[in-house]
Amino acid sequence: MSRLDYTFTSESVSEGHPDKVCDRISDSVLDALLAEEPEARVACETFATTNRVVIGGEVGLSDQSKLAEYMESMPDIVRGAIKDIGYEQDKFHWETVEITNLLHEQSAHIAQGVDEADGKDEGAGDQGIMFGYATNETEALMPAPIQYSHAILRRLAEVRKNGTEPALGPDAKAQLSVIYRGGQPVGVSSLVLSTQHLDESLSSADVRAIVEPYIRETLPDGWLSDATEWWINPTGKFVIGGPDGDAGLTGRKIIVDTYGGAAPHGGGAFSGKDPTKVDRSAAYAARYLAKNVVAAGLADKCTIQLSYAIGVAKPLSIYANTHGTSKVDEAAIERAVSGAMDLTPRGIRTHLGLNKPIYARTAAYGHFGREPDADGGFSWERTDLVDALTKAV
């Protein structure tokens, strides 16, 4: 019997966090190449520190002789991402940061396993396991602690960027400890927020006065009480932020990107990877399937696991776990999700329309729990499989 009364904690980080700066740059590079060639292969990693950004990895194009031409645009892409985030610090400024581009052509040995050839289906870009999760505790069918941690930081970013709160800086972290009763979230026992501020004279109390109204408007009514502990900038001043304060790397916030620790993670990061990489596309597919299972009312919670081998098209296994909340047999759910969607790499990309420049927007505030965009972004958040799954079981 699973526990129904407990406290669970998740954290989020803002788009200005050093690791998220790197995720944004990597996904901006990916978007630029997909905009030019929808079948482009990209595995872009980014490192950022004081006054420097380094990008590296692999790029595969249908005409590799054009690679040098595309590489010329990379510094502008990096600077554009940093500018949009909002960094204009003395030691990390979008105009003056030094950029080193070490991207090179894709390994031929990887390409031969992934590409279609001689009747062989397109294979997975790597081996691995991917998880998707959904729960009915929020409207977005996401765990409440991570969903509202994201929402707080997204709201603070909005008022920073539109000029309402010019004292706030781009770098921030939020953490919520959510109280569950009867398996449902009912309140917040503690709230931690550390946010960069551009005015050195501001105290922790001053920063709290700025951010508290936005936190209160973001959280559900009644979740904050006199017993809630507030920890706003608990170390005191937070003026030096971003890669100048701490180095950043692509792919170091995989739990922030997914379910805040409320569900398993296969270990693979998302940002900078084109959708032939099942680390990304199959994790999106698993979330899509799990969300549709819960949206169909087949279970209150659902975890879907998929596994792949490099160069092999079909998943090696499909596993469903409904954590004791299923209304039907879990084996029937496994059969239903298998039949509802082609889970080969090309099948996932086609079904979810992933060969588009839709990834820079995923780099902060979570890859899941977002509204689908009209241009195909966050297509994995649709619930258009409900009828098919219901009929199948």
Residue ranges of the annotated binding site for ATP are 17, 171-173, 237-238, 246, 252-253, 269, 273
Q: Find the catalytic residue in 15, 19, 23, 165.
A: 19
Q: Find the catalytic residue in 197, 277, 287, 351.
A: 277
Q: Find the catalytic residue in 150, 160, 197, 252.
A: 252
Binding site membership for L-methionine: which residues? 58, 106, 246, 277
Q: Find the catalytic residue in 150, 154, 273, 370.
A: 273
Q: Find the catalytic residue in 20, 154, 367, 370.
A: 20
Binding site membership: which residues? 17, 19, 45, 58, 106, 171-173, 237-238, 246, 252-253, 269, 273, 277
Binding site membership for K(+): which residues? 45
| Among 171, 326, 333, 319, CA closest to 242 | 171
Q: Find the catalytic residue in 37, 39, 58, 121.
A: 58
Q: 131 catalytic, yes or no?
A: no
- How far is Cα 304 from Cα 287, in angstroms, rounded to an integer? 7
Q: Find the catalytic residue in 17, 150, 291, 349.
A: 17
Q: Find the catalytic residue in 79, 160, 173, 301.
A: 173
Residue corresponding to tokens 């959280």: 219
Q: 155 catalytic, yes or no?
A: no
Q: Find the catalytic residue in 8, 92, 131, 238.
A: 238
Q: Find the catalytic residue in 36, 212, 246, 342.
A: 246
Sequence-distant (≥ 6) Cβ neighbours of residue 274 within 8 angstroms: 30, 33, 34, 40, 41, 42, 43, 280
Q: Are 110 and 103 spatial neighbours (Cβ–Cβ below 8 Å)?
A: no
In the numeric block, which tokens belong to residue 196? 């960069």
Binding site membership for Mg(2+): which residues? 19
Q: Find the catalytic residue in 45, 274, 300, 334.
A: 45
Q: 109 catalytic, yes or no?
A: no
Report how far apart, in Å, the C-alpha atoms of 241 and of each of 164, 181, 245 are: 20, 37, 5
Q: 247 catalytic, yes or no?
A: yes
Q: Find the catalytic residue in 91, 115, 161, 247.
A: 247
Q: Find the catalytic residue in 15, 31, 137, 279.
A: 279
Q: Find the catalytic residue in 154, 253, 287, 370.
A: 253
Q: 327 catalytic, yes or no?
A: no
Report how far apart, in Å, the C-alpha atoms of 115 and of each of 18, 86, 307, 312, 368 are: 34, 39, 19, 10, 29
Q: 15 catalytic, yes or no?
A: no
- How far is Cα 273 from Cα 205, in angstroms, rounded to an integer? 41
Q: 17 catalytic, yes or no?
A: yes
3-state secondary structure of 48: strand
Q: 173 catalytic, yes or no?
A: yes
Q: 212 catalytic, yes or no?
A: no
C-beta atoms surrounding 112 within 10 Å: 12
Chain Cα centroid distance, residue 114 = 24
- How far is Cα 373 from Cα 352, in angstroms, rounded to an integer? 12
Q: 253 catalytic, yes or no?
A: yes
Residue type for 92, please? F
DSSP letter for each residue of 198-255: S-TT--HHHHHHHHHHHHHHHSPTTS--TT-EEEESTTS---S-GGGTS-EETT--HH
Residues labelled as active-site residues:
17, 19-20, 45, 58, 173, 238, 246-247, 252-253, 273, 277, 279
